[in-house]
Amino acid sequence: MTEDFFRKLSKKEIDALTNVDLASHSNTNIASRNLLFLLLSYFVIVLCTLTFIILKKEFFINELRLMENVDLQFAEATLNQRIIKVIVLSAIIGVSAIINRYFSLIAVLVFVAAIFGLVDDFSMRITHSDDPFSLTASTVTILRLVAIGLIGKMILQAIGESSQKDMDFP
């Protein structure tokens, strides 16, 4: 069976499978380590932000109640919905990174969702809140910006890594 497999391959493909270029292999390994570092940093920031929001839950419920002009139960449900959305999006990024399937596409989708969520929250906070630049709200906004930046860096890293693989095996 393996002989049939190698007979169907061209000389260039056989050379690519049998010739190991340690220099290019180490570059791919370094790129994978950088991507792993960015991914772990992203998860740490998301975990810190979620912990911060859960600890200051009453503050955020009151902010949502004031900004959206709704009752307390609806504001609490909205906050819980946003927390669950962040957890699900982070889990999707983690699973796609572990499986190594469609990571760039999923990271781009999460990046777009995070940008739109940040813009929506920030514009609502500016137009409806008494103090849009409070310490708590600013801390969460900064952490979200850093997480979005890390997602963008992961996308660039993943795209750069896949383009190197494409160039190695035409």
Q: What is the pLDDT of residues 67-80, one digit of tens each?
A: 778 888 998 998 89
Spatial CB neighbours of 113, under 8 Å, sequence gap ≥ 6: 89
Residue 11 lies in a domain: no
Residue 63 lies in a domain: yes
Look up the domain containing 131 and give its range: 37-164
100/57 Cα distance (integer angstroms): 35
Number of domains in the chain: 1
Task: State yes or no: pLDDT of 89 exceeds 90.
Answer: no
Task: State yes or no: pLDDT of 52 exceeds 50.
Answer: yes
